Amino acid sequence: MLYGATSGEVYINGVAGERFCVRNSGAIAVVEGAGDHCCEYMTGGRTVVLGPTGRNFAAGMSGGVAYVYDEKGNFDYFCNMEMAELSLIEEADDQKELYGLISAHYKYTNSPMAKRILDNWSKSVEQFIKVIPIEYKKVLQEEKLVELDRKNKITSITEAR
């Protein structure tokens, strides 16, 4: 499902099979579990998995971001970290994005799983893992630096007047 998706949103009240979001290049997807090879060769978009995943998650992933609810604390075993890295959801922007995606999932599916996560957000957010391709993360960091430099130059010009 969502093979090569370029845009749109999908909220699935249930578990997807193998190869969910393979080659996703721009869609937003929230699902309550996924089989093997989820987010394989993903190049863009956002994927949220609120339950267990199969093996080889993120193999060949070069873009986009995935958030996985790691309630059992064993997701790293199922993730292919050859091109991606895992981190906790510490940035306020990431927490806001994730909360918004899960809220939309609840709105469209009335999912008990989403409701439980949202009702216990301060605890639940600590159990999410962010999956991001290493090179993609570097590009995003460079873009932030360029934007910060641009803003600093504008501020300097404005103050000089």
pTM of the model: 0.90
Q: Are strands 43-49 and 63-69 parallel, antiparallel or unpaired?
A: parallel
Q: Which two tokens stand for residue 34?
A: 């996924």
| Cβ contact 69:49 at 8 Å | yes
| Residues 136 and 64 sit within 8 Å (Cβ to Cβ) | yes
Whole-number Å distance between alpha carbons of 50 and 2: 17
- What are the residue boundaries of the structural domains of the chain, listed by start? 9-133
**Residue at token pair 């960091």:** 141
Domain 9-133 has CATH 2.160.20.60: yes
Q: What letters, b where the CB count within 10 A reaches 16 and e where it falls short, cover 69-101?
A: bbeeeebeebbbeebbebeebeeeebeebbbeb
pLDDT by residue, tens only, the chain of 161 residues: 788 899 999 999 999 999 999 999 999 999 999 999 999 999 999 999 999 999 999 999 999 999 999 999 999 999 999 999 999 999 999 999 999 999 999 999 999 999 999 999 999 999 999 999 999 999 988 988 888 888 787 887 778 77
